[in-house]
Amino acid sequence: MSTRLGPAPAGEPAEDGLVGRHAEDGSAGTRGSVFALPARTSFRFALLIAAVAASSFTFYELIYMATPRGRAVVSRMRLCEAPAQAAQAKGLFAYASALHQASVCYSGAERTEAWWGLLGVGVLIAVAGAIFLAQPWWYRRRMHLSDLNGDGAAELMSRLEGVRQRAGTGPVVWLLQPLNTRLSAFAFGHPRRRFVAVSGGAAVAAVRKPAAFDAVILHELAHVKNRDIDQTYLALAIWRAFVVAALLPVVVTAIVTGDLAGFGWQRSLWRIAVLALIVYSLRNAVLRSREFDADARARELDPETQLGPVLAGLPARTGRRAWHLGWTHPQGQARAAALTDPAPLYRCRFWDGLAVGLVAAIGASAVREIVTLMTTTYGVRLLVPAVIFGAFAGAALAVAVWRNQLLEAGTSTIKGWAAGSGLGLGLAAGWIIALPHAFGPLPLAPDQLNPAAVGVLAVWTGLAVLVFTPFPVWVGHWADAWQQRADVTAPRVPARGGMVAAAVAAWVVMAIGLYLLLLSVTGILGGSSAASVWHQLPQSLRDMGFMITAQDGQVGGWVVCLVVVAMPFAAAVAHRQWRRSAEAHDAAVPHRRPLATALLCLAGCLTAVALTLAVSAATHARIAGPVRWSPDFVSRLVIFDEQAIVVVAVAFALIAAARARSARHVAICVAVGAAVAAAGVLALSNAGTIDRCFGSLSIQYTHPPTAGGCITSPDSAWLRQIVLGAALVSIVFVPAAHAAGILAGRRIRQARVPAGVKALGWLAAGIAVIAAVTGTALWGPAASAHGVEPAGSIGRDGWVRGDGYDIRLVPSWYALTQAGNPTRMIISFPSDGAAIDLLSLTAGNSAGITEYRNQLLRIGARPALLDGAPGLRIARSGLPQGILEQWFIVRGPAVYLITLHQAPAWPEDSPYFRHSLARMLGTWHWTNRVSELNRGATDPALAPSPA
Amino acid sequence: MVDETAEIVRSVGFELVSRLAPEERPLYPSLVSQFQGARRGRGGKASSDDQLLGFGAAEAVTMLTPVILNFTSSFWQALVAEAARNSVHGVLECVKAHLPGRHEAAAGPPLTPGQLQLVRAVAEREARRLDISESQAGLLADAMVGVLTAPPVS
């Protein structure tokens, strides 16, 4: 496949008739040959065939489940899942483990079911193969086709062979359809033998209207040359096999068993009908598109052909618009017009995206069903269908959009929005229509039509449309970068090498997208009822976002970012050599744009940092200390900050995109978003320590401790998560911002705005940014504090006074003192239930003290100092009553017992509790205050003996 | 008798088609089978305008063969009816003898001008009865006379 990217030098053969043909009417030729790229419906037949074959699996499942063996599988599953249901009350981990055990338990039965289904698919494929091979014989018989060897056939045969040799196609068997008096012909056959059946009317027209006859025959030979026969009749064969070998048996099974209420038959029946309608309509749509291609090929084979007038003379077909779905030929007038203006051969519209999305989702869900039965590994169940149908869908989209971009005369005029919205809608709708969804545990719309079910479907569909709509636009940007012209007068180059790269890149992106779509079905649509799904929808969406950007799930996101950004730059690398000839033109383009983008990036970084610091400052100044101490408040504030950073990053990415004027710059905008997010995270990660240098920025303290450095390196996992989130959101919205910028730029140029007004505009924008940052900084902390109740006291900025000591609490720990009993203080960590018990007693019972000391020593306590006071400390696992650490200090008349208790439900947090205790004890200092109650009082109950 | 009539119509019709619309000769066997099947109540199968990988819904081309077959059949029936009158019985036998496919040796003496005039008149009358225009009817009648007098074209 040629990768020549520039025009052919004079005297050198053009690339497939690409350059050198300047159209008589200035339209078709400026784009080069229509066949410089594969047909826009390439891969769609393959996609259709794969989807139908995969969907048949569910039909055979239905049949199997109606048999005694199928019912036995259901019983086995119930038996295996019973222990899992019992484990549900033991906690999430126990339940998950039990579910896995259950799946292992019935995996054998599921595999048998899967093999049955696969056997059925194999039968279907075999039947389809037999139908495909038998079709030529069947057509000959059914259409009463005869060989051209009778009286008067020699002249006709001679004429036909003359046309074939002019067309340059391989051998064809000519047949006659004498009873068809219309001027027509059709092609059929199989790879080893091609047939063209000539109608009686055409045979007569060979003498009476030779030009029309030649046009018709050329059109059929064009189908042969375009390799339409195998794909068309294979698609037809698989459809017929589907009806005979899958659909009919299912209907018979349903009637014989009479069990229409079970196994989701009611939910299945309408899906079967819609699936049949979709496949039929899509097949015809592709066939109609192929007719345009065949006409164009015929014109290319013989530029003098009278095909145009013949097509224009075809009688107009009447009928309701909906009936057009059943037509395999477009109107003759439309075909004639396409010969003059081949735009229909290039366009990629809503219906194209919808078709790809529908079939990809239907096929992927069917393959998921197959793989689910074959393996217990969850990830594989989603990965295999995503990879398979991502390949088909990605390639189909890449080719269609590549052609669509070739139609554009101007640079940076990117379309694909309609196709993208169709793609998103098709993916969402395809999933709902897919047969496996009929057997899901939770019926949603349209199986259920209550408001919650409809609402969930609407949100999920809207999300799919939002996420997938920009993808064809990005492919358009890739195409724009690769099809870059040598100069403004030369036509675009098809850049087939770039198209192949784009198809691979689109495969990767679509595979990841399909994977997430399949994952979202469980993550978003899983629940006990439609109402519960609706109510937990916001949290489900947040959890989904977290899953995509969390450490374990980041690979896909980074790959998408890399692919989207790298493709235009790969074009730049490929174009480097011959761009030199265009430098004179480029030199006239000011290099302000890279500088402007860099400045925008810097401004974004500063805004993100300023916003983070402003939020900290506003928190310090406006939120009460005990509230600031709360871990709930801090986590909410951090989440708010993260979201604000992402918003700022995306905003600046969009601004940069609105100013971008090339595909590379559009891609750079994603990097701008990532850079701004990184700057914001760096600032946020230091929010907890910067108060050591700038007290007014302290989130938790009024007067923060000053020990230690105020700048720390961020947690790399956290940094990657936020940066990835910003990059992915930028990818979704940058194309729209770029398109809006192009439109606005045209209007501004038309309006001829003076420079002074532009400057004022920038000033106003700067003021708006400052106002937004200020407003956000003021609103965020208050919103985060809403409903947060302190769990106790924090003393004075963390300092709490005990009986003879002062100690500074660590944020998130609250002091609980009992009224009238200053000898005991409990410092609790409300989130987990951990606690530090501070007990002070008089040291009256020396024997008891000695006894206790000896017990501590026996169980491993070691000497330790607490603010200079000697004592004992024990800290090890296995201590009774959930004790993690204990200090025993005798100082003067008092005994101090400091006991750290773990959180029973969260033993894994013990290291954090120990660390917190160490920090607090680091602030401990003795005072001379001893309570009156403690003087002469002895608490008979010291901490129980560790033994 | 019916078979003889069908055979006569087939052979005469072929000669007429060869003279008047030779481009329809490759279609003749199927069209005549369709014609004779339709007369016996067996209809032909209609073709689809929207055949896969076809050209599309084009206009029908006017075929002369069905008209010729209709004419030939009517002509022969009319001639047979005329044979009931003794004066033309000899014409019938003469005409049969000069049908295409018959050996020249068995053809017998050529038709007399009077017989040919009678044949022409019957032919023109039947053509006019089929709503064919006067000039076209004359052409058909002349062609029929030519079939019976000139050597076969096929």
The CA angle A338-A344-A349, to the nearest 5 degrees, is: 165
Whether residue A291 contacts residue B56, with contact meaning beta carbons closer than 8 Å, is answered with: yes
Beta strands in A144-226 (DSSP E): 146-147, 173-177, 185-190, 193-199
Contact B57 A182 (CB under 8 A): yes
Low-confidence ranges of chain B (pLDDT < 70): 1-2, 39-49, 85-91, 94-95, 98, 100-109, 153-154
pLDDT digits (tens, 9 = 90+) for A503-556: 999 999 999 999 988 888 777 776 667 787 888 888 888 888 888 888 777 888
A191 or A17, which is more confident? A191
- The pLDDT of residue A837 is 92
Is the pLDDT assigned to residue A912 strictly greater than 80? yes
- The pLDDT of residue B8 is 87
Is the pLDDT assigned to residue A592 strictly greater than 80? no
- The pLDDT of residue B49 is 62
List the single best residue of B19, B36, B50, B61 to mutate versus A (max A Cβ within 10 A): B61
CA atoms of A189 and A890, how far apart (whole Å): 101
User: Which three-class secondary structure string do you get for B121-152?
Assistant: HHHHHHHHHCCCCHHHHHHHHHHHHHHHHCCC
Beta strands in A819-905 (DSSP E): 821-829, 834-842, 862-866, 869-875, 883-891, 894-901
| A583 exposure class (CB count in 10 Å sphere: 0-12, 13-18, 19+) | exposed
Is B16 within 8 Å of chain A by CB? Answer: no
Could you tell me the pLDDT band of residue A936, with boundaries at 50, 70 and 90? very low
Is the pLDDT assigned to residue A711 strictly greater than 70? yes
Beta strands in A746-849 (DSSP E): 799-801, 805-808, 814-818, 821-829, 834-842
CA atoms of A890 and A103, how far apart (whole Å): 60
Contact A329 B57 (CB under 8 A): yes
Q: Which residues of A touch B20 (CB under 8 A)?
A: none
Could you give the 3-state DSSP secondary structure of residue B12? helix
Q: Which residues of A touch B26 (CB under 8 A)?
A: 148, 150-153, 156, 176, 178, 203
Whether residue A295 contacts residue A311, with contact meaning beta carbons closer than 8 Å, is answered with: yes
CA atoms of A873 and A860, how far apart (whole Å): 9
Is the pLDDT assigned to residue A83 strictly greater than 50? yes
- Residue A698 identity (one-letter amino acid): S
Is the pLDDT assigned to residue A12 strictly greater than 80? no
pLDDT digits (tens, 9 = 90+) for B51-91: 888 888 788 888 899 999 999 999 988 888 887 765 566 66
Q: Which residue reads 């918003």 in tokens?
A: A647
- The pLDDT of residue A123 is 92
Q: Nearest chain B Cα to A330, which residue?
A: B56
Is the pLDDT assigned to residue A943 strictly greater than 60? no
Averaged pLDDT for residues A104-118: 85
Could you give the 3-state DSSP secondary structure of residue A866? strand
* A269 φ/ψ angles, rounded to the nearest 5 degrees: -60, -45
Q: Which bin fits A176, alpha (ψ -120 to 50), beta or left (φ > 0)?
A: beta
The CA angle A464-A456-A50, to the nearest 5 degrees, is: 45
Q: Give the contacts of A885 (CB within 8 A, at least 6 positions apart).
A: A873, A874, A875, A899, A900, A914, A917
Is B3 within 8 Å of chain A by CB? Answer: no
Is the pLDDT assigned to residue A1 strictly greater than 50? no
Q: What is the CA radius of gyration of chain B?
A: 17
* A176 φ/ψ angles, rounded to the nearest 5 degrees: -120, 135
Q: Which of residues 88-147 of B touch A (CB under 8 A)?
A: none
Could you tell me the pLDDT band of residue A808, with boundaries at 50, 70 and 90? very high
Q: Nearest chain A Cα to B48, which residue?
A: A180
Q: How many CB pairs under 8 A join A and B?
A: 145
Which one of A228, A314, A329 has the shortest CB-CB distance to B50? A329
Task: Give which of A610, A645, A613, A611 is closest to A725, Cα–Cα.
Answer: A645
Least confidently predicted of A332-346, A359-373, A572-586, A790-804: A572-586
Could you tell me the pLDDT band of residue A804, with boundaries at 50, 70 and 90? confident
pLDDT digits (tens, 9 = 90+) for A63-82: 888 888 888 888 888 888 88
- Residue A411 carries which DSSP code? T
Contact A201 B23 (CB under 8 A): no
CA atoms of A882 and A800, how far apart (whole Å): 25
Contact A186 B55 (CB under 8 A): yes
H or E stretch covering A205: helix A200-208
What is the reported pTM?
0.83
CA atoms of A62 and A262, how far apart (whole Å): 10
Whether residue A863 contacts residue A853, with contact meaning beta carbons closer than 8 Å, is answered with: no
Strands A193-199 vs A173-177: parallel, antiparallel or unpaired: parallel
Least confidently predicted of A263-272, A425-434, A589-598, A616-625: A589-598
pLDDT digits (tens, 9 = 90+) for A732-769: 999 999 999 988 887 766 666 778 888 888 899 889 98
Whether residue A344 contacts residue A334, with contact meaning beta carbons closer than 8 Å, is answered with: yes
Residue A718 is encoded by which pair of tokens? 């956290």
Is B45 within 8 Å of chain A by CB? Answer: yes
pLDDT digits (tens, 9 = 90+) for A84-100: 777 777 777 777 788 77
ipTM, two decimals, is 0.87
Task: Give which of A873, A788, A797, A793 is closest to A828, Cα–Cα.
Answer: A793
Task: Give which of A302, A20, A12 is closest to A168, Cα–Cα.
Answer: A302
What is the distance in angstroms between the Cα of A304 and the nearest Cα belonging to chain B?
18
What is the distance in angstroms between the Cα of B90 and the nearest Cα belonging to chain A?
33
Q: Nearest chain B Cα to A150, which residue?
A: B26
Residue A293 is encoded by which pair of tokens? 């291609």
Strands A173-177 vs A146-147: parallel, antiparallel or unpaired: antiparallel
- The pLDDT of residue A414 is 80
CA atoms of A638 and B89, how far apart (whole Å): 117
- Residue A101 identity (one-letter amino acid): Q
Residue-averaged pLDDT of chain A: 83
What residues does A836 pair with on adjacent strands? A827, A900
- The pLDDT of residue A667 is 93
Alpha carbon of residue A487 to chain centroid: 37
Is B63 within 8 Å of chain A by CB? Answer: yes
Provide DSSP, A628-687: HH-HHHHHHHHHHHHHHHHHHHHHHHHHHHHH--SHHHHHHHHHHHHHHHHHHHHHHHTT
Give the dihedral sign, CA A762/A766/A768/A769. Answer: positive
* Cα-based distances in Å from A71 to A64, A68, A685, A764: 9, 5, 57, 71
What residues does A872 pair with on adjacent strands? A863, A888
